[in-house]
Structure 1
């Protein structure tokens, strides 16, 4: 057992009667650790005050100058734009940003978040994939602020920065209905994703408000890539009763839809959620549910810094508005 000084993982291993490697795997949240052995390690951590002492030493030395940002998919320009906004605020405050991607996997998110906490970041900005974030409860109690961005987290009190996903989708589809479209295709990623669920709810609300029913055959979900959206819309356009308009649940799906529509010269109205690079250069007009993505990242970073300065428990939600704009064509 540790006799003096700050406990280390070696001390925890000795206390629990396990290997150093096992302690490291438990502390870093890695999977496939025997539950009974994990309990022994966590009990030893509590007895020795290992993590608490390490955190206190970091706070005293003033080295917690890093923001951890866990995105859902860094290949999406949406998250890179948010990261740039967070970085701008961090740089101004002489802080650093460490970015990682959960790839929409809950286990990966947990591992990344706990690893960043172990490295004693000043705070976390997380785009949630997991459906329970109580695994961060201890970190919050130890003084690490957590901000949920783009989607709400669960299991811990935390500030949340969200887009008005439902309102934006509702306005977009309501406009298509008002313009006389009755056969409206809807392309979505997995509806288990919070943003997709909210956008789909907005679609349903628009149809209900117009007193019309959507055609389930025109709703395609689980589309993760532009290629998947391209192929899905191609099948719908080749059907006996094709759509005259399409609403795309995110920018990647809009790109995929355009890959089908533009080569065919198909007369299909396009509205998509999220702007994307070169949208203004499209040879035809489309509608975009747009918003200030920089504002999203800036709000998240500023809220995190406010929690660092005043660690009072936060559970406040900020909603960033959307607007419909034209892109492409001659305006």
Structure 2
């Protein structure tokens, strides 16, 4: 006879799934009457739920209010980065169309925190996950570890797991920005990059390095800094480069936080200093008001979220197996002139 495991601790959808040896998604589909599971499995889930007296809070809330009963977990690395707020907007736009709500978790770029956040979201009964990974280790996001809860990665391809992903054209966008600086006569170009362990870090550096190689320019390690996107660290790195006797005549930044750091470093320079050009990945607010020319690699961050959420719901509702899919969001080069 099935009995409630613990009369004090609230049951979760994951508890029900583990007792039956099925995925949380199977339990979720049975409770909502969705397609994708057999009738025998559905009846087994419903019988177990009745025996345990389990009632998911989010489903009860939906029945009381007529509102959404489905939850999608969104895991990002740095809430201070405007990219993630726009990505969240895109995820939410799609979730609203499907009658779902978004539950947000931040990892502060710490892989251990990411594992904890993912576990917590699963215990809360999320029906799917959109994750921006904090490292190259994605083993905790595999189907077996998530008990088949669908997941889509954003801004990073999967490593050793078979899941959908949405990427930005990191390589092509950075290559185009570096080429633009070279076309304007710059040969000493500093690069404020991201860690090589991150997909965005490795791809954006690759775009920078290839553009230099194509122009017959060797990479000068004195002009390269690769750290997590942080405006303070970027400012310090840029100031060190600009203090060199043969300092860069242009700076290329790998994300908007590094662009802010570069702008602060350029502001600190003497007024009689040689002008330094700036190009960066990610558009930034008020770019048109800056008193220096700025080239940015622009793209629709909200579209990254929309594409990721769309892949997630398509997989949730598919009655046939789907091969892992990859979507790449295009970039555009924009030149912001000095305002008159």
TM-score, normalising length: structure 2? 0.80
The change in CA–CA distance for 1:221 and 1:320 in structure 2 (over 3 A counts) is same
**CA contact 1:207–1:213 (8 Å) conserved in 2:** yes
Matched, 1:286 2:287: no
The structural deviation recorded for 1:61 is 2.3
Q: Structure 2: how far apart are the matches of 1:273 and 1:318?
A: 19
The structural deviation recorded for 1:83 is 0.3
**Deviations 1:54-87, CA, capped at 9 Å, x for gaps:** 6544332224611110011111110111001111
**CA contact 1:140–1:146 (8 Å) conserved in 2:** no
Where 1:259 maps in the other structure, the secondary structure is: helix
**Deviations 1:256-276, CA, capped at 9 Å, x for gaps:** 111121343450010000112
Where 2:105 maps in the other structure, the secondary structure is: strand
Q: Structure 1: how far apart are the matches of 2:310 and 2:98?
A: 10
Unaligned runs of 5+ in 1: 12-19, 29-44
**Deviations 1:299-318, CA, capped at 9 Å, x for gaps:** 11111111111162431111
**CA contact 1:114–1:136 (8 Å) conserved in 2:** no
**Deviations 1:17-52, CA, capped at 9 Å, x for gaps:** xxx9xxx9xx99xxxxxxxxxxxxxxxx89963663
**CA contact 1:127–1:148 (8 Å) conserved in 2:** yes
Structure 1 stretch displaced more, 124-133 or 240-249: 124-133
- 1:169-318 to structure 2, matched below 5 A, reads 169-264=174-269, 265=271, 266=273, 267-310=275-318, 312-318=321-327
The change in CA–CA distance for 1:107 and 1:140 in structure 2 (over 3 A counts) is closer
**CA contact 2:17–2:23 (8 Å) conserved in 1:** no
1:40: which partner in 2?
Answer: none
Structure 1 stretch displaced more, 173-182 or 50-59: 50-59
**CA contact 2:201–2:254 (8 Å) conserved in 1:** yes
Structure 1 stretch displaced more, 256-265 or 72-81: 256-265
Alignment partner of 1:79 out of 74, 79, 84: 84
2:121: which partner in 1?
Answer: 116
The structural deviation recorded for 1:155 is 2.9
The change in CA–CA distance for 1:299 and 1:292 in structure 2 (over 3 A counts) is same
**CA contact 1:279–1:328 (8 Å) conserved in 2:** no
Where 2:240 maps in the other structure, the secondary structure is: helix
The change in CA–CA distance for 1:109 and 1:141 in structure 2 (over 3 A counts) is closer
The structural deviation recorded for 1:230 is 1.4
Unaligned runs of 5+ in 2: 33-58, 60-68
The change in CA–CA distance for 1:74 and 1:50 in structure 2 (over 3 A counts) is farther
TM-score, normalising length: structure 1? 0.82
The change in CA–CA distance for 1:171 and 1:92 in structure 2 (over 3 A counts) is same
**CA contact 1:128–1:153 (8 Å) conserved in 2:** no
Q: Structure 2: how far apart are the matches of 1:134 and 1:191?
A: 19
**Deviations 1:115-151, CA, capped at 9 Å, x for gaps:** 2122221110001124333333345774421101011
Where 1:288 maps in the other structure, the secondary structure is: strand
The structural deviation recorded for 1:53 is 7.5
Where 1:69 maps in the other structure, the secondary structure is: strand
**Deviations 1:148-189, CA, capped at 9 Å, x for gaps:** 101112232111100010111111111211211111111112
